[in-house]
Amino acid sequence: MEDVDAAILGVREDVARLHAELVRYNLVVWTGGNVSGRVPGANLYVIKPSGVSYDDLAPSDMILCDLDGRVVAGSAGSDRSPSSDNAAHAYVYRNMPEVGGIVHTHSTYAVAWAARGEEIPCVITAMADEFGGPVPVGPFAIIGDDSIGRGIVETLSGHRSRAVLMRNHGPFTVGVTPRDAVKAAVMVEDVARTVHLAREGGPLIPIPQREIDVLFSRYQNVYGQAGDDRR
């Protein structure tokens, strides 16, 4: 039990701290957006409370939930309501056991692609490295139930991308850890902006699939230190 308690505290600290990265990289407006993290060794995850200013978030404010999205009664933060995307996060954790962190933002350029219902084509090496191809578009889904989660899982299952643009809504990213998912959120906004600007200047030049595969393999398996969560 002590090991689980320590793991919960660690995820609370990580998730609370990582919300500042969303602000740092201009990925959110007001209290929109959220980060969650799976608790290693337990069927639990930690998620941001709803409607709380990013400046006021502390580890004790984070909300502990089971994989059905139910708040764990009596736990720190259980007097608050979890993020409005809580059911979506729970659905992803139940159906994608490899996922250890989830992020949702309303970052400007990624939302613009989502508003057009258009995937971001893989035309720069950074996309091949990070996402292994285009960033796909998921279906339109209503906020509040697990519809968004179903769309995320359906779209990303069998896809190398760790980001999905939910149509008319915005990006959701997944990762092996919450930090990994935050990195994907930063990167998807960066490539959304770059590819948008490139297309304004003229036709895009696609990268051949063979070269995408080589770039993705190198970045995922060679770049950086073995066993890190940089992907």
Q: Which tokens in the block code for residue 195?
A: 């590819």
Q: Check pLDDT > 70 for residue 42.
A: yes
Can you give the pLDDT at residue 2? 75
Q: Where are the domains positioned within the chain?
A: 2-221
Q: Which amino acid is at 83?
A: S
Can you give the pLDDT at residue 63? 98
Q: Which amino acid is at 213?
A: D
Q: Check pLDDT > 90 for residue 79.
A: yes
Q: Check pLDDT > 50 for residue 227.
A: no
| pLDDT over 70, % of the chain | 96
In angstroms, rounded to a whole number, what is the distance separating the alpha carbons of residues 146 and 130? 27
Q: Which tokens in the block code for residue 55?
A: 């400046």
Can you give the pLDDT at residue 9? 97
- pTM for this structure? 0.95
Read off the pLDDT of residues 23-36 as tens digits, 9 standing for 90 and up: 999 999 988 899 99
Question: What does the pLDDT average to over 128-150?
Answer: 96
Mean pLDDT across the chain, nearest whole number? 95
The CATH number of 2-221, from 3.40.50.300, 1.10.10.10, 1.20.140.10, 3.40.225.10, is 3.40.225.10
- The residue assigned the tokens 């400046």 is 55
Beta strands in the chain (DSSP E): 34-38, 44-47, 63-66, 101-104, 137-138, 163-166, 170-175
Whether 126 and 190 have beta carbons less than 8 Å apart is answered as yes
- The residue assigned the tokens 């969303």 is 22
Identify the residue with better confidence: 1 or 169: 169
Beta strands in 91-143 (DSSP E): 101-104, 137-138
Can you give the pLDDT at residue 39? 98
Can you give the pLDDT at residue 229? 53
